[in-house]
C-alpha cells in the first residue's frame, strides 16, 4: 500500500536565489514554508561582496519572512568571491555570520560579470576560508571562450581537483551538478560534496529545445543528456551523503524569460518538496527523501539537524501559471503531493 502522508525532519535548501526588492517579497515565503534553512546566493544586483552587504541583505530577508509569519526561517548567508576579495574580507564576513563563499567564474551565469578570472590568485582567500571553517561553493563551469555549452561543467573539473587537493580540509560544494561525470568526480574527492536540483532530476536538453523552445526550463548549467539525468537520479536516491538538495530556485519576471535574450534560471521554490516526494516515490526510494533534504547537507555543512518536522499529504493540485509575474517550474501541471496546511 502506498503512503498517503509523509512526515520529514524539516530540511534545508542549500542553494537558493531570493533576489532583492519586489521579487524577494514575492518569492521568500515559498522557501521559508518548506525549508528551515536555505543557503542564499550572493549574485544579486548589487552583489553581496562584504560583511556590510551581508548584514543589510539578511535584514531584508528577515523582514520579508517575518511579515509572512515565518520568523523561524534561517537564511544561511554567503558572500560572492571575486578577483578583489581578500583574506581580511573573509575574516570580516565570518564575524558577520557568513557560512560560505560562492565563486562564479566570470560570465557563466546571471550577474556573474564580476566573477573570478584567476583561481590561482585566490589561493590565499581559500586558505583563510579553510582556517575559518567556511565552505567554498563553486559554480562549476568553464568560462573559457569556445567551450561548447554541454561541455562547460566537465572542463571545470581540473580547477575543482586542483583546489580540493591544495586545500584538503576546505569543505567544497560543487553546485547544481548536471552530468554523470560530475557524480564520478565528486565521489572520488574526499572534501567535496554536491548539490542536485529538482529540475535537473527531471529535465534534459530536449525539454528546453527539443520541440518548442521552453524558456522557463532554461537554466545554467543547462540540462544535459538522458543518461546524465539517469545518473543524477541514482545519486540523489542512493543514500550517498555526498549528494544533497540545493534547489537553485532562480526567479525571473516572465518578460525577462520570454524575450530575445532570456535569462537563465528555473523558479522551482513553489513546487520543490512536493515534486521531490513525487520523484522519489516514482523511484521507489521515498524512504531516502529525508536524508537527501534534511540530513546529508546539514551534516556536510557542520550544522545541527533541524528538530521540527513538516508533513506532506497525497492530494492532487495544479501548479499555478504564475506568481506575481514569475512563472514557476512545471506551471499548469498536476502534482500528487502537497504540503499539509
Task: Point out the residues that are catalytic.
Answer: 248
- What number of CA atoms fall less than 13 Å from residue 327's CA on the CB side? 19
205 CB-near residues (< 8 Å, 6+ apart):
150, 222, 223, 224, 225
Query: What is the DSSP secondary-structure string of 173-212?
Result: EE-S--SHHHHHHHHH-TTEEEEE-SGGGT--TIIIIISS
Counting DSSP H helices and E strands in the chain, the numbers are 11, 12
Helix (H, G, I), strand (E, B), or coil: what is residue 25? helix
Dihedral of the CA atoms 187, 193, 195, 201 (nearest 10)? Answer: 10
**In 3-state terms, the chain is what percent helix, strand and coil (to 5)?**
40, 20, 40
How far is CA 63 from each of CA 14, 17, 29, 57, 70, rounded to the nearest angstrom?
21, 16, 11, 10, 10
DSSP class of residue 265 equals -
Amino acid at each position: 500500500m502506498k503512503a498517503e502522508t509523509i512526515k520529514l525532519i524539516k530540511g534545508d535548501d542549500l542553494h537558493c536565489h531570493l533576489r532583492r526588492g519586489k521579487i524577494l517579497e514575492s518569492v521568500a515565503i515559498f522557501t521559508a514554508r518548506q525549508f528551515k534553512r536555505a543557503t542564499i546566493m550572493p549574485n544579486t544586483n548589487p552583489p553581496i561582496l562584504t560583511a556590510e552587504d551581508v548584514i543589510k541583505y539578511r535584514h531584508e530577508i528577515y523582514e520579508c519572512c517575518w511579515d509572512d509569519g515565518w520568523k523561524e526561517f534561517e537564511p544561511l548567508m554567503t558572500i560572492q568571491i571575486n578577483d578583489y576579495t581578500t583574506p581580511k574580507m573573509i575574516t570580516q564576513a565570518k564575524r558577520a555570520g557568513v557560512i560560505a563563499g560562492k565563486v562564479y567564474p566570470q560570465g557563466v551565469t546571471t550577474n556573474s560579470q564580476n566573477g573570478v578570472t584567476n583561481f590561482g590568485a585566490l589561493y590565499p582567500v581559500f586558505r583563510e576560508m579553510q582556517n575559518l571553517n567556511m565552505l567554498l561553493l563553486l559554480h562549476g563551469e568553464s568560462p573559457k571562450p569556445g567551450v561548447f555549452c554541454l561541455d562547460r561543467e566537465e572542463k571545470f573539473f581540473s580547477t575543482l581537483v586542483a583546489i580540493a587537493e591544495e586545500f584538503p580540509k576546505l569543505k567544497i560544494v560543487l553546485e547544481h551538478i548536471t552530468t554523470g561525470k560530475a557524480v564520478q568526480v565528486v565521489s572520488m574527492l574526499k572534501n567535496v560534496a554536491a548539490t542536485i536540483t529538482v529540475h535537473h532530476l527531471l529535465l534534459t536538453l530536449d525539454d528546453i529545445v527539443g520541440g518548442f523552445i521552453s524558456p522557463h526550463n532554461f537554466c545554467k548549467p543547462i540540462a544535459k543528456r538522458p543518461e546524465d539525468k539517469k545518473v543524477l537520479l541514482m545519486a540523489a536516491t542512493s543514500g550517498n551523503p555526498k549528494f544533497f538538495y540545493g534547489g537553485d530556485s532562480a526567479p525571473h519576471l516572465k518578460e525577462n524569460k520570454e524575450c530575445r535574450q532570456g535569462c537563465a534560471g528555473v523558479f522551482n521554490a513553489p513546487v520543490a518538496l512536493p515534486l521531490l516526494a513525487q520523484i522519489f516515490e516514482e523511484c521507489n526510494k521515498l524512504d531516502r527523501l529525508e536524508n537527501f533534504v534534511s540530513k546529508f547537507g546539514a551534516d556536510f555543512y557542520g550544522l545541527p539537524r533541524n528538530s521540527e518536522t513538516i508533513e506532506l499529504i497525497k492530494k492532487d493540485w495544479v501548479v499555478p501559471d504564475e506568481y506575481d509575474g514569475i512563472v514557476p517550474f512545471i506551471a499548469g501541471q498536476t502534482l500528487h503531493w502537497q504540503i499539509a496546511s
